Amino acid sequence: MLPLAGVKVIELAQNLAGPFTGDILGQLGADVIKIERPDGGDDARGWGPPVHGDTATTFMSVNKGKRSITLDLKDPDAVAWLKDYVRDVDVVIQNLRPGAVEELGLAAKDLCALNPRLVYCSLSAFGNKGPKAMDPGYEPILQGFSGMMMMNGEDGGPPTRVGMQVLDLGTGLWAALGVVAAINRRHTTGKGGTVDASLLETALGWMSAHFAGYSVTGKPPRRHLSGNPNTIVFQAFDTATKPIMIAAANDRLFVRFCEVLGRADIGADPRYKTNRLRVENKAALLPVLEAILKTNACETWIEKLEAAKVPCGPINDMASMDREPQVAALGIIQELPDRPVRTVHLPLSIDGERLRPARSVPAAGEHTDAIVGHAILKKKPKA
């Protein structure tokens, strides 16, 4: 039995962060009912190419296993139906534009008054208070606003965006954790509550270690391409074939790393005895290591370093990652049951079993008849 079996969730969310919250809860066993607009549904359905059929693969990645109904929330009858339905729901997830749920009468105070056991989860760009609380925002805006872009790329180079949707997906993850915590508290108190998460708070959370350093020194962290400016050796190096990532992240590993390179003298050099000294003297150290690593193939170095228990690995592209036996063994990438689209499932297992959604990706409004059943709610939106 899945941990959230029997939990019913209404998802008033689109794009990535809110739907990823629903995706997590759904894969943990909750029944997630996604509410979409009658005129095309979630905007992310059109976030392609790539697409399969008429649906973007981005949408498929975070909407597996849900049921979808279409409601025109400008229709008072639709809103009235939803309010009545919420009386028997455990969780509401919403990331509508700031102010929208208040205008519709679907804010936390409205729905929690109807259902005191309800856990109401809101996701936003800038947070639920402050001068920018009502401002809309997307991933790249918040990567820039938070300072995250100035921590990536080459030192002295232009600001660089993290290629993955780390704020959208991270915010969805924090929101899901908050929802699960609130459900657990409800077992004791009998009452639900509110959960708030935002892209800005997620960005600041990811930057916590760097900010702690800044708070002491007053200096921003230096950018270091693939590595870490505070740890040596902890970065990518070119080899005779392709780059290798090496993480000899403590003094003992550094000594073993130097022995693999055939340069035990470097590991014994007083200039490099501790990580702090290696950071201070990296301008002298790194070019020597780079020259040695270029003399042999990546695969050869990996074999030697793994034998010495020095953490390392190839820098894969998408295709080579997909061929990795370790990735296949985890079973985390699976084809959807009704279409040849492979998606990454939730990155955890319960009782040794990989979590998989019970259903595929729904069409917009696919379950309206079964769930709503009122003809008035299936009216086409006015032109």
Q: CA dist 23 to 27, 65, 89, 105, 292, Å?
A: 6, 8, 17, 25, 46
The identity of residue 298, as a single letter, is C
Q: Which of 213-222, 256-265, 284-293, 317-326 has the lowest mean pLDDT?
A: 213-222
Averaged pLDDT, 336-351: 86
Tokens matching residue 204: 């600041």
Confidence grade of residue 376 (pLDDT, cut at 50, 70, 90) = low
* pLDDT band at residue 295 under the 50/70/90 scheme: very high
Using a pLDDT cut of 70, give the percent of the chain over it: 97
Domain with CATH 3.30.1540.10 in the chain: 234-314
Spatial distance between the Cα atoms of 27 and 193, rounded to a whole number of angstroms: 22
Average pLDDT over residues 182-197: 97
Q: How many CB atoms lie within 10 A of CB 172?
A: 28
Query: Catalytic one among 54, 110, 168, 251?
Result: 168
pLDDT at site 383:
43
What is the CATH topology of the domain spanning 234-314?
A: formyl-coa transferase, domain 3 (3.30.1540)
What number is the average pLDDT over the span 133-152? Answer: 90
The DSSP line for 350-383 is ETTEE---SS-PPPTTTTHHHHT--GGGGPPPP-
Band (pLDDT 50/70/90 cuts) for residue 382 is very low
Structure confidence at residue 339 (pLDDT): 82
* In this structure, CATH architecture of domain 8-206+330-378: 3-Layer(aba) Sandwich (3.40)
Task: Determine the 3-state secondary structure of 39 from DSSP.
Answer: coil
Q: What is the average pLDDT across 96-113?
A: 95
Residues 6+ apart with CB under 8 A from 307: none
Q: Which of 99-103, 169-173, 197-201, 334-338 has the lowest mean pLDDT?
A: 334-338
145 or 383: whose pLDDT is higher?
145
Query: Please, what is the average pLDDT of the chain?
Result: 91
CA distance 4 to 335: 23
Q: For 282-287, what is the mean pLDDT? A: 94
CA distance 217 to 148: 18
pLDDT of 6 > 70? The answer is yes
- Position 214 scores a pLDDT of 84
- CATH 3.40.50.10540 domain position(s) in the chain: 8-206+330-378
- Amino acid 274: pLDDT: 95
Active site residue 168: yes
